[in-house]
Each structure stands twice: as C-alpha cells, then as structure tokens.
Chain A
Amino acid sequence: MRNTRGIPRLALSAVAGAAALGMAVTATTETASAQETLQVGAIQPQAGDCGQWGIPITRGMQIWADQLNAEGGLLAGDGKRYMIEIKAYDNVCYIPGEELKAGRRAILDDGIKFMLQTFTPGSRQAIAQMTTDHHVLTTSYGAGYLSKDHPYLIGGITGSPAAYMLVASRALTANPDVKRVAIITADASYGLAAKAYFEAGVAAHPDQAEIVYNESYSPDATKDMLGLLTPLMASEPDMICQLGFVPAQLAIMVETVEQLGFKGVYCAEGFTMPIILKRVPAEVLAGRMYFGYAFEASEASFSPKGHELYTTYVEQFGEDQWSPYTPIGYAAIGTIEAGIRMSPSIDSEVVMKTLLGAEVVDHPIFGPSRWGGEEIYGANNHLLTPLPIYNLGADGNLVLDHLLDHAAWWEQHMAVALPVLEAGGQVFR
C-alpha cells in the first residue's frame, strides 16, 4: 500500500518543481486587446547562474515594452500604434543548441517576427538560417556574428564584443603609464570573443602596452577567486581586463586583487558598484574602473530617457537587484523600435530593408548612428552607436568618462586590430 501511495506524491513534487520552473521561464505581459499587438521575442537564460545576465536583460526589455504601452503603444511608420508583448525563451546558458531550440519555439511555434538574442557568435550562427527563412528581424546587444547571407541578423548597438576593444583602448589612452595588461576571460564562446577583442584593444597601443597574462578560466570550476587570481597577480599587471564573472564575482575579484596588492586600472563591460563598494572603499577605486557596454542607466547625465529605465527597475525590483546588463537589452531592442518607426509597414521584411537602407538611424538612446561591420562580417549590418565609457568618481558615484566614437576609432586602428581579431577567430567575412 505504501508503495502505491508514494508514487503520486513523487510525481506531484517533480511536477510542482517543473511547473515552478516553467513559471519563471515564460514571463508574458497581459495587454489590452483594443490595438494590434506586436510580439517581441527575447532569447535569454531565464534560470541558473547565467540567469544573472538573462533575467535583467529580459526585464529591461519588459520595461521598454511597458513604457511604450503606457504611451498607448509603439507609433509605427504606418501611422498605427502597436501594443508590445515580450515573450521570453530560455537558451539555458547561451548554449547554441539551446538557442536553436528556443528559436524554434519562438519562430515556428509562436510566429515571432522581431526578436532579441545574445551576441555570442555560436548562438547567432545557430539560428541565422532560420531568421532568414522566416524573415525574423533579430537584434542583439552587439554584433558577434553577421553575414550578408543573413540580412535579418543585425548588430543593434556597438555592444559586445566591440565594446571590450574600445574600453581597453580608452583605459590605455587615459592612463599612459599602464604598460602591463592582464586579460582573464571565461572559457566559453562569449569569453573567447572577449579575449580577442581585449587583445585587439591593447594592440591599438603597440608602443605603450603589452599583454603579460592572458588566460581562460572554466566558469564551472571557478568558485575560489584567491586561487584563480594568484597567478594573474604574479604577472604584475597594471591593468586587468575581465569578462565572464557575474557581478558579485567581479566584486570579489576586485576585493581579492586589491588585497593582493593591485594598484592599477580595471576594464570590464560593467561593474555593479554598490556591491563592490561594500567591499572596497570608493576613494581607493576612484578613477580606476573603466567600463562600457551599452549605457549605464544608473548614471543620469548620458541619457535622461535611459535613466528612467533605472528608476523604474529599482522601483519594481529593488536597488540590490539592479544590474549593468539591464540596459543592454533595452538599448538593443531600441534599434528595432527605430526601424518600425521609420518603416512604412510593420512587415518584418519591409522593416529590415528600411532599417538597413537608412544612411543614418536615429537610435532612441544613442541618437544618429551609421552602419558598419563590412571588414569583420562582410556585411554592413552593425549599427556603430557611440560608446559611453564610465568610471568611478571620488564620491562613489559613476561618472561619464568619455563618449567614444566607434566608427572613428575603427577607422584609425583597423589596420592593427583586424589581424588580431582574425587570429582570435572573430572575423566572419
């Protein structure tokens, strides 16, 4: 008797677990049905450690939709307003195979025509053909992989991995005494892209700096910073470029290398300052923290509209849930927003042609920007938005350090940077 009673109970608990997980995965919005609704897909990790990136990114997109819906919908080029519904699809942890599964659910099952995905080259390649076949305009916070054969795949903003190159270069320009650079990146597709782009950024300053440490770590095995960073510090760097740590890990990294005697500058895509400042005082770190990705919404001066994202997010989820990754989805989907506003029809093929055909795209956050990417991807489908680079002020607040013109930088340094990217497997011409 006991046996037969036990099984439904077991089944129940397993189902409850799966159901609870499922609830977390698909975040959908109820929208008024008066107007037409436009479904926008988000393929991002929705659970697990990578959810620390994917969930804030998805939330940023949701706030984008909420803001437009509050205005009565997105005003398209056809003169109509469209309510936006965000549908999230889990790619587990930016795994290409999972990206493909998520893409199938979004495109084949749900008929999504506008979508955001990660920049990771492997993941972009995984769904490139499907986006082309089904005319799904797919943006990302960066380029990663583009192709003239896949015009529906666009790089929505400068973003990853280009920003790594630009931030490393800016940090070197601003600190002429920095000579020895350490690069530490995750041993994953996104980490390998970052490694090549950090190298390219350093290569743009051949007379100033050399790379003295350049290693990948396994994200699964890296729990103890002290062990990981001891060999890095043994190379005596005066600049550390990092990609792959989740925000709290990055905070522990900063604390650990400070304890190990580091006095140089940091470069990364984003720092979550409140948790870092709990560990290391602002006056110690001020002026040493270079970062830039899309834009940092908690800093008000760059974009008042963008800063609203921060205040809304903090109201909804609390200050300690703020993530430097929230703005990147918000900014990248803004490129599709710009395309829909320009296009005479919301048909995805017309939007794509209008957007890529435009000489200048008026991005809602970055303003007028031009297309680029030919030399790396063989297609000018990467919108080269200016990159705001931030630093830490003496009072513990973030300050806008520099607004870097991506297109101009590339013009100037392409000759040295491109071969480095090619050697790092990041050129897809």
Chain B
Amino acid sequence: MQIVANIIFLSTFYVSFAVGLALVFGVMRTINFAHGEFYMFGGYALWLLINAFTGILPPGATFIVALIVAAGVVGVMGILVQLSIFHRLREQPFSIFMATLGLSYVLQVAVVKAIGPMGQSVPAPFPGFILFEGMVLPIQRLVVFGFTVVMMGGLYLFLMHTDLGRAVRATAQNRTGAMLQGISMNHIALTTMFVGSALAAISGVLMGSVLIISPFMGGEALWRAFIIIIVGGIGSLSGAVVAAFLFGIIDTLMTTFGAGKFAPMVDAIIMLLVLSFLPSGLLGARE
C-alpha cells in the first residue's frame, strides 16, 4: 500500500513542476531554461524565510508566507525575463534558448556565490506522520499534495473561467487568430510568464519542504519536466498531468522492485517511443 502513497507523492512533484513549464512552452512556443532556477528560488525562499522567522512565526505560517512571497517575487522575475529576453529576441527561438540557458547558469552561480554550493534542507513545517492502512503518510507530504491540488484548481479556474485565461488558451492554440480578436500578444506573454514563473516558485516552495534545496535542483527537475511535457503533448496541460502520473507510477514501481537505476533510461525510451508513434504526445494537439 505504501507504493500507492509513494506514487501519489512522486506524481504530485512531477505535476507541480511540469505544469508551469507546459504553460510557458504552450503559449510562448519556446523554452525558458531559467524555469528550473525559478523553481530553485522557490526552494531558497522557503529556506531563507524559515531561518529568518524561526521563533517569530510558527513554521506552518512561514510556509504559507513563503508560498505567497516566492510566487510574487519570482512572478515578477518572469516578467523581467519576458521584457529583457523573450520580447527582444522574439521570432528567434534558438536565440531565446541560448539566452535563457546563459541566464540559468548565471542564476546558479549567483546562488553558489551568495549562499554556497551545499544543499540545504528545512525541517518539515508540518512535522509528523499518519499511519493509515499500513501506509506511512508524512503530514508535510499530505500538505504538499493538498497545495498542489489547490494550485492546479486555481490554474484551472483561471484558464477556463476568466476572460484572460480564455485569451491565454486561444493564443496558445492560434496566435494569428488571437491577434485578430484584438488580443495583445505582449499582454498575454507578460501574463503567461508571470503565472508560469509563479507556478515554478510555488512548486519550489512545496518541494523544498520535502526534498533538498540546492543551487542545482532546477536543472535536474527541468530535464524530467521536458520528458513529461513531450510525452504529455506540447502545450497540453492535461497531457502534462497524465504524463506526470504515468512517470510517477513507472518510476515508483521501478524503484520499488530494485530497478530504479534503469528508470532514467526507461523514461527516455518511453519518450522516444511516444515521439515516434504519437509525435504530438498523449493528449497533444494534432497540428
């Protein structure tokens, strides 16, 4: 039964990180390599605030403050990336790719210089665990799961039930069509980068409370997220969620049955098979 809990927890991680990248990729049609570092900033925001507020605020409250602060600050960073890189290099996806890759290195090194290379971890803001039906359910992981559900719910409401969200979806599907309805591409790009970057930071705070926080945590998460959004179907948020659960199941089962070291290889093979036989991904657009 523990396997079921582990699958849910791992998939939660994959979902919370991949969904922001899928949104940005879907709308902007290019990769923001610094997305992983935005996630890392979320982790460090939690670490810094927990250290700063120890004895002042209960850790659980600090955790919630960190979610809000990180989302706001990193969301604004997303806007700055849009203004300084994406907008100026628009129509040149390869240049954007290289420029954000450079930015990603700069941000990593900046954190190494400012804080240090050693990975950090914070004690669980909501400590303890529940034993249920033979499963060990750490409370912090349940909290992370809950917040991920809330985050996904918020994103769903924004995209499906607001005019701006509808415009974001329309732009992702057809830029020319969207421009002809009077939708400003700049406005949508700024919105998307704010929301996508804030999602990365929220994921960083959530995961920082259960995984290690290091200057290099973003890079690894990013590669995993690439595989997830490619398998899920580029531009498809529901595809990203489905793929996150698929890999959550595969990776957990492989680890459980002693084949964990083959998991990256198997994941890559699945990606190649999907690219060969379903080039648009599991739930991607056929365009």
Interface residues of A (CB under 8 A from B): 2-3, 5-7, 9-10, 13-18, 20-21, 23-24, 47-49, 51-52, 55-56, 187, 215-218, 220-224, 226-228, 230-231, 246-249, 251-252, 255-256, 259-261, 275, 278-279, 317-318, 320-321, 323
Contacts and interface: CB of A to CB of B under 8 A. Distances in A.
The 3 A-B residue pairs whose C-beta atoms are closest, nearest first, are A17-B102, A17-B105, A248-B212
A278 B123 contact: yes
Contacts of A3: 92
B159 interface: no
A187 B261 contact: yes
B7 to A, nearest CB: 8
B118 A220 contact: no
15 contacts: A9-B99, A24-B112, A24-B113, A47-B108, A52-B119, A55-B117, A56-B118, A215-B258, A218-B260, A218-B262, A221-B251, A247-B118, A248-B121, A252-B121, A323-B118
Give the residue among B101, B105, B118, B123 with the most A Cβ atoms within 10 A. Answer: B118
A226 B210 CA distance: 10
Interface in B112-128: 112-113, 116-124
Given A51-B117, A226-B6, A231 B214 contact: no
A321 B104 CA distance: 23
Nearest to B7: A227
A256 B262 CA distance: 23
A249 B119 contact: yes
Contact of A278 (B113, B122, B219, B261): B122
B162 interface: no
Contact of B211 (A15, A217, A224): A224
B216 interface: yes
Interface string B61-103: 0000000000000000000000001001100100100110111
B214 A275 contact: no
Given A224-B10, A227-B256, A14 B113 contact: no
A247 B258 CA distance: 23
B214 A246 contact: yes
Contact of A230 (B6, B221, B264): B6
Looking at chain A's contact residues, is the secondary structure mostly helix, strand, loop, or mixed?
helix
A248 B119 contact: yes
Contact of A13 (B5, B102, B141, B262): B102
Contacts of A275: 120-121
Give the residue among B103, B105, B113, B120 with the most A Cβ atoms within 10 A. Answer: B105
A158 B120 CA distance: 29
Interface string B168-184: 00000000000000000
Nearest to B47: A320
Contacts of B6: 224, 226-227, 230
B119 A220 contact: no
A230 B116 contact: no
Given A51-B112, A249-B119, A321-B118, A17 B220 contact: no
A164 B65 CA distance: 43
A252 B89 contact: no
Contacts of B219: 48
Contact of B109 (A9, A20, A247, A317): A20
A251 B258 CA distance: 22
Contacts of A52: 117-119, 214
B214 A218 contact: no
B156 interface: no
B264 A6 contact: no
Given A49-B214, A227-B10, A278-B123, A13 B99 contact: yes
Contact of B120 (A7, A10, A215, A248): A248
A91 to B, nearest CB: 15
A271 to B, nearest CB: 13
B252 interface: yes
Contact of B103 (A13, A220, A223): A13
A255 B122 CA distance: 12
B91 to A, nearest CB: 8
A14 B99 contact: yes
A24 B116 CA distance: 11
Contacts of B186: none
Given A7-B95, A259-B136, A223 B13 contact: yes
A422 to B, nearest CB: 23
Contacts of B10: 224, 226-227
B2 A230 contact: yes
Contacts of B264: 218, 220-221
Given A5-B88, A55-B117, A224-B6, 13 more contacts: A2-B88, A16-B106, A17-B101, A17-B102, A49-B214, A220-B264, A221-B263, A228-B260, A230-B256, A231-B256, A247-B118, A259-B138, A321-B118
A269 B136 CA distance: 28
Contacts of B251: 221, 227
Contacts of A317: 116
A227 B210 CA distance: 13
A30 to B, nearest CB: 19
